[in-house]
């Protein structure tokens, strides 16, 4: 038996397909939502869901939550002296869902389709798959959460072309996907997101407001008190959906406090979070090369999308009234279950071809001439982010120095123009005949499929010798600490300090634009940065000022075109 599973940051669900419909499976407590929480009790027993949450309220150091944010890393959680990775903790949640499904359905459940945030990278997807395997499940497919939601919303049911923006704000992650349906094909055009933004962060804002209002130092609070404040803040946040004022009343360090908060002051404190929501929306529309007018529907997904301020923000920005008639907590699991029906080729459901995109740019490290000398450590994009997969692309490179005997291809994932700021996911080396610099050519071919497998083939054109590796991200040659640090920096530019603030600003702006851009725009920005850096190292003050003005004007124009052209 195959089931569909929404493995969420805050809650998880399992569903199955029968008689042309998706059906949610209740857990052992008769509830549809199972909290993604794990605890270890005094008997060294693993607790999952509501019971783990309750136990953790009394023994917070024995509880783990929001560990989905650490998928694909070696970060560990210590519970009652036992260390677990996020992958292992997720396997406990999946095993619990599997057992609930078997009890409800009365048969063995051995296969699953599991959803992940669209912006999960290869490493995080593989970690999710391994978690399923640890739980005793064959994971037949990893499906993007927004795609699953689009299926549950009936995108494509009327057999007409539709372009849809799926806004997925869950408990701990945020995704935006632009999908297009036409002739039984649902194609992902662009994805963007923030793996560290969700409803938990909005709750944390209200918690911080309460702590500030009662004039208590958070460092003086124990874990149990912090968890109680967080729980009350969560209730108050939900109450804002119906009330313009909420009250948080509770004892803190033997003192009773009763504080009132208005929706206006709360929304003001949440403005930085709303601005973080804006960025992925703009990025996805830019990458899809469309305008707001090209969007036919906006679908809201994820429990945090229930917040009125979020719905108003999306409505104002997108200039359309968003759809949220399917329960935002269950739409992903329902979509996974419908995908199970498609996999089984059930006659009562129309088979749909799903295409995905590569969430991050894949490339390698190269040497570039910066106008004064050849500089190593530059990033050469081969498969750009949001390229529809499966895809295969080839890039020719040449030897960098005389009598070079070997070429080492560093396979990188990320958006920074400098290789060191991107994630190293593999390496392949090949010998080349000795020859003058630039005479030996090497073809590098990247092939990326729907199962997130990257095949890298390197061929020396003069000898036709080939080397091939398949990168599944099971292991990494860099330390786990370095891998985690680089993952955190994938969306942020590592700034190179400059003595002159104005010059530093120009380079920083250029690097930011480079990460946002794709295709030919990247080449223009890369060349402009290199030209300016060359003037900085060789030019006079007057030449630097002229170059700075010229470069800044170019970047401002490109920035203005992006903002006005796509988001006005």
DSSP string, 75-135: -EEEETTEEEEHHHHHHHHHHHHHHHHHHHHTS---EEEEEE-TT--HHHHHHHHHHHHHT
Which pLDDT tens digit goes with each residue over 14-53? Answer: 999 988 889 999 998 888 999 999 998 887 888 898 888 8
Q: 361-385 burial, b for 16+ CB within 10 Å, e for fewer?
A: bbbbbbebebeeeebeebbbbbbbb
Q: What is the pLDDT of residues 459-511, one digit of tens each?
A: 999 999 999 888 754 433 334 454 345 334 323 323 223 345 578 778 878 88
Residue of 151, 439, 117 lying closest to 302 (CA atoms): 117
- 3 state SS of 563: helix
Higher-confidence residue of 299 and 518: namely 299
Q: What is the pLDDT of residues 205-261, one digit of tens each?
A: 999 999 999 999 998 999 889 988 998 999 999 999 899 999 999 889 889 999 999
The DSSP element (H or E) to which 523 belongs, if any, is helix 520-538
Neighbours of 566 (CB within 10 A): 18
CA distance 3 to 116: 15
pLDDT of residue 323: 83
Query: What whole-number distance in Å separates Cα of residue 135 and Cα of residue 126?
Result: 14
Q: Average pLDDT in the 380-405 region?
A: 89
Q: Name the strand (E) or helix (H) holding 470.
A: strand 466-471
Residues 363 and 379: beta-carbon distance below 8 Å: yes
What pTM value is reported for the model? 0.67
- CB 537, CB 262: distance < 8 Å: no
437: which residues sit within 8 A by CB, 6+ positions away?
398, 399, 400, 401, 402, 404
Q: Is 495 helix (H, G, I), strand (E, B) or coil?
A: coil
pLDDT per position as a tens digit, 262-300: 999 999 999 999 999 999 999 899 888 888 889 988 999
Helix (H, G, I), strand (E, B) or coil at 197: coil
Can you tell me the mean pLDDT for 502-523?
Answer: 81
Residue bearing tokens 């064959």: 138
178 within 8 A of 318, measured Cβ to Cβ: no
Structure tokens at 244: 């313009």
DSSP secondary-structure letter at 379?
Answer: E
CA atoms within 13 A on the CB side of 358: 25
| pLDDT (tens digit per residue) in 117-165 | 877 877 888 889 989 988 889 998 888 888 888 888 776 555 678 888 9
Per DSSP (E only), the strands in 297-360 are 297-301, 353-357
Residue-wise over 449-481: b if at least 16 C-beta within 10 A, else e?
eeebebebbbbbeeeeeeeeeebbbeebeeeee
> What per-residue confidence (pLDDT) applies to 312?
93
Q: How many CB atoms lie within 10 A of CB 124?
A: 26
């Amino acid at each position: 038996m195959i089931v569909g599973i929404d493995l969420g940051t805050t809650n998880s669900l399992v569903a199955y397909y029968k008689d042309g419909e998706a059906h949610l499976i209740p857990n052992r407590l008769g509830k549809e939502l199972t909290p993604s929480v794990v605890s270890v009790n005094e008997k060294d027993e693993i607790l999952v869901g509501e019971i783990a949450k309750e136990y953790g309220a009394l023994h917070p150091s024995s509880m783990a939550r929001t560990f989905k944010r650490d998928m694909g890393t070696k970060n560990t959680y210590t519970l009652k002296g036992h260390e677990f990775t996020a992958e292992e903790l997720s396997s406990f949640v999946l095993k619990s869902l599997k057992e609930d499904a078997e009890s409800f359905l009365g048969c063995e459940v051995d296969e699953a389709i599991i959803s992940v945030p669209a912006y999960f990278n290869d490493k995080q997807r593989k970690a999710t798959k391994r978690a399923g395997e640890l739980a005793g499940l064959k994971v037949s497919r990893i499906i993007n959460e927004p795609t699953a939601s689009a299926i549950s919303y009936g995108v494509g049911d009327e057999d007409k072309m539709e372009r849809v923006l799926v806004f997925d704000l869950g408990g701990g992650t945020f995704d935006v996907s632009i999908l297009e349906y036409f002739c039984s094909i649902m194609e992902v055009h662009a994805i963007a997101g923030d793996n560290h933004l969700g409803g938990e962060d909005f709750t944390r804002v209200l918690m911080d407001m309460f702590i500030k209002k009662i004039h208590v130092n958070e460092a003086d609070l124990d874990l149990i008190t912090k968890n109680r404040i967080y729980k009350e803040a969560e209730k108050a946040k939900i109450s804002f959906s119906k009330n313009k004022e909420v009250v948080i009343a509770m004892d803190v360090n033997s003192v009773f406090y009763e504080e009132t908060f208005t929706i206006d002051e709360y929304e003001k404190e949440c403005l930085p979070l709303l601005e973080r929501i804006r960025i992925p929306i703009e990025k996805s529309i830019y990458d899809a090369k469309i305008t707001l007018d090209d969007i036919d529907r906006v679908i809201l997904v994820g429990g945090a999308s229930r917040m009125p301020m979020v719905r108003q923000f999306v409505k104002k920005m997108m200039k359309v009234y968003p759809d949220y008639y399917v329960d935002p907590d269950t739409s992903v699991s329902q979509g996974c279950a419908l995908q199970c029906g498609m996999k089984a080729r059930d006659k009562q459901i129309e088979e749909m071809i799903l295409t995905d995109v590569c969430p991050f740019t894949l490339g390698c490290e190269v040497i570039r001439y910066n106008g004064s000398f050849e500089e190593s450590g530059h990033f050469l994009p081969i498969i750009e982010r949001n390229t529809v997969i499966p895809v295969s692309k080839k890039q020719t490179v040449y030897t960098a120095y005389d009598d070079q005997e070997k070429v080492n291809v560093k396979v990188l994932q990320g958006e920074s123009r400098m290789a060191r700021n991107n994630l190293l996911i593999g390496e392949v080396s090949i010998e080349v005949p000795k020859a003058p610099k630039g005479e030996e050519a090497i073809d590098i071919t990247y092939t990326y499929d729907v199962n997130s497998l990257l095949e890298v083939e390197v061929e020396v054109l003069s000898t036709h010798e080939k080397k091939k590796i398949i990168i599944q991200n099971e292991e990494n040659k860099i330390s786990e600490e370095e891998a985690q640090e680089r993952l955190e920096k994938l969306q942020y530019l590592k700034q190179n300090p400059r003595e002159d603030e104005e010059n530093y600003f120009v380079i920083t702006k250029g690097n930011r634009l480079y990460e946002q851009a794709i295709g030919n725009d990247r080449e223009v920005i890369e060349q402009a940065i290199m030209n300016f850096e060359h003037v900085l190292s060789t030019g006079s003050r007057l030449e630097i000022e002229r170059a700075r003005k010229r470069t800044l004007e170019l970047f401002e124009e490109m920035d203005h075109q992006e903002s006005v052209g796509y988001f006005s």
